[in-house]
Amino acid sequence: MSNICVLGSGSWGTAIALLLNNNVHKVTLWSFSEDECRELSQSRENKRCLPGIIIPEEITLTADINCCKNQDIIVIATPSHGVRGVARRIKDVVPTGQVILNISKGIEEETYLTISQVLKEELPDCKIAVMSGPSHAEEVSRGIPTTNVVAADSDETTKLIQDAFMNDVFRIYTNDDILGVELGGSLKNVIALCCGILDGLGCGDNTKAALMTRGLVEMTRLGVAMGAKAETFSGLSGIGDLIVTCTSMHSRNRRAGILIGQGKTVEEAQKEVNMVVEGVRSCKAAKELADKQGVEMPIVSEAYDVLFHGKKPADAIKNLMVRTKKHETEQCFLNKID
């Protein structure tokens, strides 16, 4: 049995706390606010994110950041834009060599750093790992079979997390490509948002399949340019997460995209979804990273114009369809724009 603290009591953090509790670990679930912690403690249910799922009494609920003391693993499950602030809050609490697992998916908007890079800046003496893959909290919390991948700088760290998380309904593979695992988990949200827009416009399966396929090419192209391995994007954190996020109504990114395709503004769509839509922030970051790397990402570019410059989605689709003729595999994974 390990002592494990989960920072972030949203849907994913709650689901992971439930999973770890089922694995007979001593689990603490931390909330950002006293009010949220009080509500969870009274109802033992995350009514907004995971209605109907009871939080067992064995899970300690707290809003005290000192809960990070004396933990074998600390799990970061806050929205990506809040990770740096949380890391700064625990800096003086955690010891040298503390294992910290990031399960948030996103890219920091101001710096365009991945979350592990943010954590390594703020907590340089800790052992940082990342976990990603096709894993809706709604399903993990109900014990539906799920598979993820964990990546870290050492086999010791990945195996520690693999041992702590695995059970008969949650399987973990290991990887050493931290950057690729994180980029896959972040960039797929942009493509899922676009797939939702297609649904909102009434496009068909053909259109969505094309978008997912070419979206994966763009994800891989940027990842390779930044130093990730191409094969990582063919795995769970790439194509695996892409499939589930683009096709499921559990996906807040897809749901927001549907609303945008139906004519709502980005702000209206995010408000109606009532949860963080990481794809909006990730789209801006992906566009900036692609420009910086000199990488061609036409889907991301068109999505950026729709989300931030008011372009009509139908016009964005037309632009993609009438682009210069290409060979399918020519320059798919080369860094520079031809």
Helices (H), 202-330: 205-226, 241-247, 252-261, 266-273, 278-293, 298-309, 313-321
Distance, CA of 275 to chain centre: 13
The architecture CATH gives domain 3-176:
3-Layer(aba) Sandwich (3.40)
Is residue 257 within 8 Å of residue 197, measured between CB atoms?
yes
Q: How far is CA 143 from CA 1, 73, 147, 199, 253, in A?
A: 20, 22, 12, 29, 23
Euclidean distance between CA atoms 80 and 68, whole angstroms: 19
Q: How far is CA 261 from CA 69, 257, 265, 315, in A?
A: 46, 6, 9, 12
**CATH of range 179-321; options 1.10.10.10, 3.40.640.10, 1.10.1040.10, 3.40.50.720:** 1.10.1040.10
Euclidean distance between CA atoms 265 and 309, whole angstroms: 11
pLDDT at 336: 45
Segment-wise mean pLDDT, segments of 10 residues, the chain, 338 residues: 95 96 97 92 91 95 95 95 94 95 91 94 97 96 97 96 97 97 95 96 96 96 95 96 94 94 92 85 93 94 96 95 85 49
List, in order, residues 6 or more apart from 243 with CB less than 8 Å away: 134, 212
CB-based burial of residue 128 (10 Å sphere; 0-12 exposed, 13-18 middle, 19+ buried)? buried
Euclidean distance between CA atoms 280 and 131, whole angstroms: 21
Q: Assign residue 188 a region (left: φ > 0; alpha: ψ between -120 and 50; beta: otherwise).
A: alpha
Domain map (residue ranges) of the chain = 3-176, 179-321
pLDDT at 24: 95
Pairing, β 73-76 against β 99-102: parallel
Active site (annotated) includes residue 271: no
Distance, CA of 49 to chain centre: 16
Euclidean distance between CA atoms 224 and 59, whole angstroms: 41
pTM of the full structure: 0.91
Helices (H), 92-154: 115-122, 137-140
pLDDT at 68: 95
Q: Quote the DSSP letter at residue 172.
A: E
For 219-235, b/e burial (b = at least 16 CB within 10 A) is bbbbbbbbebbeebbeb
pLDDT at 300: 97
Residue in 105, 120, 127, 188 annotated catalytic = 188
pLDDT at 337: 42
Structure tokens at 334: 């080369």
Euclidean distance between CA atoms 321 and 318, whole angstroms: 5
Euclidean distance between CA atoms 78 and 13, whole angstroms: 8
pLDDT at 328: 85
